[in-house]
Each structure stands twice: as structure tokens, then as C-alpha cells.
Amino acid sequence: MKTCLVVDDSKVIRKVARHILETLNFEVSEAADGKEALDSCMASVPDVILLDWNMPVMSGMDFLRALRDTALSSRPKVVFCTTENGMAYIRAAIEAGADEYVMKPFDRETLESKLQIVGLA
Amino acid sequence: MLTPRPAGAVAEFIALLEMRTGQQMGANRNWRVETALKPVMRDTGHETLEKLAAAIRADRSGPLADRVVDELLNQESSFFRDAAVFDIVEQAVSAIPDTRRPRIWSAGCSTGQEPLSLAMLFAEKLDHQMPEILATDVSESALNKARAGHYTQFEIQRGLPIRRMMQWFDSSDGDWIANPGLTRMVSFRRMNLVADSLPIGRFDVILCRNVLLYFSLDIRRAVLGRLAQVLRPDGVLVLGAGETVIGQTDAFRPSQRYRGLYEPNWAAAAAA
Ligand SMILES: C[S@@+](CC[C@H](N)C(=O)[O-])C[C@H]1O[C@@H](n2cnc3c(N)ncnc32)[C@H](O)[C@@H]1O
């Protein structure tokens, strides 16, 4: 089964994303900030990470930089999933090593199509 | 289960849609009529379907009738819809000798996602001539949107890889607008596939995806026959996922070279 780590400080968003991902046959784990997410990745590397931008403790961007600097057993795909929808943000995310970008609000079709684009759905 | 035949105004709208476009409204979709026409009723001050129907009866070819037909058409689309098809189309186009310019027709292009996906795909391939891309639809409002290359955040995200969005679109008040350089690669033209005269010349690839679904079998067969007339002998036809020519027409058969595509059926043409 493919695995996805959902990183978002909103419990509601995590729940919505989990629901969609489970119908797409993903095994889902959750983290509420970048620090928790990093710990989770050290323990086991998911196939894909759905990543919010603005979070307490450690932002999505700081997490992504730390992740891409860490030697892991495999390279997880990273799909940003955020309300930041300006071109400058998108460009910064891609430059930092994100593979795809979802602008909130999103629905099932959007998420599914983005996961297909990174080769996972 | 017996579905009651639509009565009164709803039946009139469904008949108008079919007369104008050949599209039939399945009985299980009758409920859609009222939902789809709510905005027209609000904008034009006709409080009931019956009043709207009466206004159309008084002017069957006016702008109100056009608007109603537009609202009833299914115009759902997305960028790189059924993505694997685009790889196969790319293969088919790459096989064309570089001595002539490939020609592609997106028939029933709706709001433009299909032809613009093709334009991005081929514009990024520097080793090949840019194909000529013709995109047609019966709906003028869909074409206007396509020409403007204007998409909501929901529409732009569906199927379009973020790098392509960054390369070809700019944001504007939360929506996304295609660079003129992209929309210019496509010629958009209004055309009813059932009735209007066919484009001039022949095409290497015709895409007619998710358009034939709601035609009656007779109309579907007739339209497929018309598409065959403007496809090159070595060209290919692309239908939507889940659509087939098998049992629908003798004009095409499954392509020997490209999986899931169709080619003109010369045996049938010779016999005819
Ligand atoms: C569901 S959309 C499909 C769009 C695109 N080909 C795709 O697959 O995503 C169907 C389109 O066919 C158009 N259409 C329906 N009847 C037509 C006709 N008789 N002639 C030309 N276009 C027609 C509709 O206006 C609509 O935009």
C-alpha cells in the first residue's frame, strides 16, 4: 500500500485529506507541524508528503529544506497544499524541492490529479 | 423502473437542445434542466420554467435560446484529461515526417483545456514542428472562455502540472490567465459537428472526446462518418475514455499502431 504523511496544523484539513487519500488506497499518517513531520520521516519514509505552509513550531518551507538536506532511505514526493497561491510562493516551493503544489481549497479530483502527476495514483 | 416522460417546459428545452446540437438529455438527467437554467431565469427575470419557455417560443433563434442551449450542454473538461492519451498522441505526431506540418483537430473542445494541453505539450518539444491546432465547439460562450484562456483556481489545478502552470499562466485576482503566446497556438472556431460544413483539408489527429456520448446512434454514426472524411488515411481518431467506435460505425477500426486510438477503415470505405 502507498503511504502518505499529511502535515497540517488544522485537524479538520487533516481529516478531510485523510478521507480522500484513504479512498485512493493510501495508508495515511498525520503530523501537526514540520518538526513532528521530520520525526515521522526519520522513523519511516512515506511515499508522498502533503504539506501545509504556515504552521507553528516549524513551517512547511523549513521542513522541506530540512527534509531535502537529510539522508533518507528513499526520496519522498512532496506536494505543497496551502492557501498561499501567489506565483512567488509557488516558485519558492518548487525551488526548495517540492514536486507539486495544491492551492486550497481543494477537492478530491484536484488531489487525485496531482498525485497522478507525481506518479502515485 | 419507468421514468415519466418530461412534460411541458422541460420537454421543450430538451427538444431545443437536441435540435441545436444533437445532444440528448438522458431521462435520468431531466432534473438537471431546472438547476442548469436557474441562473438564466434569475438574470432575465423569468420566474418560472414555463415563462422562460414562452419567451423562447417567441424568438427561437435569439440570444436567450442560445444561452439556454449553452447552459444545458455538458461542458466538463480538464487539462491533460486521461493523461496517458497525450503520450500516445505525442507518439503519433512524432512519427509524422518533418517535411510537413502536422494538423490536429480538437472537435468539441469546450472551454479549451484539451487544445491548450496539446499546445503546451508540443510547444515544449523543440525537436519537432509545432502542429497546427484547430479547436471547435458548438458553444460560443465556451469558445470565448477558451480564447481568453481564463480559468478558476479549481479548473487550473485539475490535471495541470504545476511547472506547466508556472510556465504558461499568470495569476490575476485568484484566477489564472494563459499567456497570449499559448492561446495564439490554437485557432478556435464555432462549429456544430452535426450540421456545419467541415474544416478544409485533412488532419493527422482528430480528438473527439466525451462529445459523442449523448448523441443518438444515428447521429453518432453520421458524425463519425464526417470525421473520417477529414482524417488523413494514415491519421488517427481519439475518443474519450470508455468511448468506442465498435458497433457504432464502419468508418473506423481500432488502430494497429496506437493503443486505444482508431484509424480509418479502408476495407469498409472500399466496399461502400
Ligand atoms: C464534455 S465536453 C468535452 C470537452 C473535451 N473534449 C474533453 O474531453 O474534456 C463536450 C463538448 O462538446 C460540445 N458539443 C456538444 N454537441 C456538439 C455539437 N453538435 N457540435 C460541436 N460541439 C458539440 C459541448 O458544447 C461541450 O463543450
Architecture of domain A2-117: 3-Layer(aba) Sandwich (3.40)
Assess whether pLDDT exceeds 90 at residue B25. Answer: no
Alpha-carbon distance of B99 to B171, in angstroms, equals 38
| Residue A32, min C-alpha distance to chain B (Å) | 25
- Reply yes or no on whether the pLDDT at B271 is more than 70: no
| Residue in chain A nearest B79 by alpha carbon | A113
Distance CA B203, CA B101 (A): 10
- Peptide bond before residue A105 is cis, with ω within 30 degrees of 0: yes
Nearest of B112, B178, B113, B176 to residue A90 by alpha carbon: B176
Q: Are A48 and A115 in contact (CB under 8 A)?
A: yes
Over 80: is that where the pLDDT of B29 sits?
Answer: no
**In this complex, do A90 and B161 lie within 8 Å of one another by their Cβ atoms?**
no
Decide if A114 touches B, using CB distance below 8 A.
yes
Q: Which amino acid is at B270?
A: A
Does the CB atom of residue B240 touch ligand 1 within 6 A? Answer: yes
Instruction: Give the residue from B74, B89, B84, B75 showing the smallest Cα distance to B122.
Output: B89
| Domain architecture of chain B: domains with CATH | 7-72 (1.10.155), 83-271 (3.40.50.150)
Q: Could you tell me which residues of chain B have a Cβ less than 8 Å from any Cβ in chain A?
A: 78, 83, 153-154, 157-159, 161-163, 165-166, 170-171, 174
Which atom of ligand 1 lies nearest, measured to the CA of B196? 20
Give residue B5's pLDDT band: very low, low, confident or very high (50, 70, 90): low
Q: Where residue B32 falls among pLDDT bands split at 50, 70, 90?
A: confident
pTM: 0.93
Per-residue pLDDT, B217: 93
From A115, which residue of chain B is nearest by alpha-carbon distance?
B159
Continuous H helices in B29-112: 31-44, 49-58, 63-72, 84-94
Instruction: State how far the Cα of B83 lies from the Cα of A112, in Å rounded to an integer.
Output: 12
Decide: B44 in ligand 1 pocket, CB within 6 A. Answer: no
- Chain A nearest C-alpha distance from B14 (Å): 29
Task: Specify the 3-state DSSP secondary structure of B30.
Answer: coil
Residue B126 — very low, low, confident or very high, per pLDDT cuts 50/70/90?
Answer: confident
CB within 8 Å: B157 and A85? no
Q: How confident is the model at residue B30 (pLDDT cuts 50, 70, 90)?
A: confident
Predicted confidence (pLDDT) per residue in B213-258, tens digit:
999 999 999 999 999 999 999 999 999 998 999 888 999 999 999 9
Q: How far is the CA of B57 from the centre of ligand 1 (A)?
A: 25
B240 CA closest ligand 1 atom index = 8
Distance CA B181, CA B185 (A): 7
Q: Taking all residues of chain A, what is their mean pLDDT, rounded to a whole number?
A: 95
Q: Which of A114, A115, A118 to mutate to test the interface with B (most CBs of B within 10 A)?
A: A114
With beta carbons under 8 A apart, name residues in chain A contacting B162. 90, 94, 100-101
pLDDT digits (tens, 9 = 90+) for A20-37: 999 999 999 999 999 999
